[in-house]
Structure 1
Amino acid sequence: MGWQRTSHLRQPARSAPTISRRKIHVPTARITFINDSRGFGFLRPDSERDPDLFFHASNVVDFDSIVVGDRVQYEILRDDRKPVGRQAKAVAVQVIGR
Structure 2
Amino acid sequence: MKEIKAYIRAHRTDPVIDALAEVPARPGIAVVALKEVGHRAGGNDIRTVDMVKLEIDVPDAQADAVVEIVLAAARTGAGHPGDGKVYVSDVTTAIDIATGRVL
TM-score, normalised by the number of residues in structure 1: 0.23
Structure ranking higher in helix proportion: 2
Q: Report which structure shows greater RCO (CA 8 Å, sep ≥6).
A: 2
Considering only CA atoms, is the larger Rg found in Structure 1 or Structure 2?
Answer: 1
TM-score by length of 2: 0.23
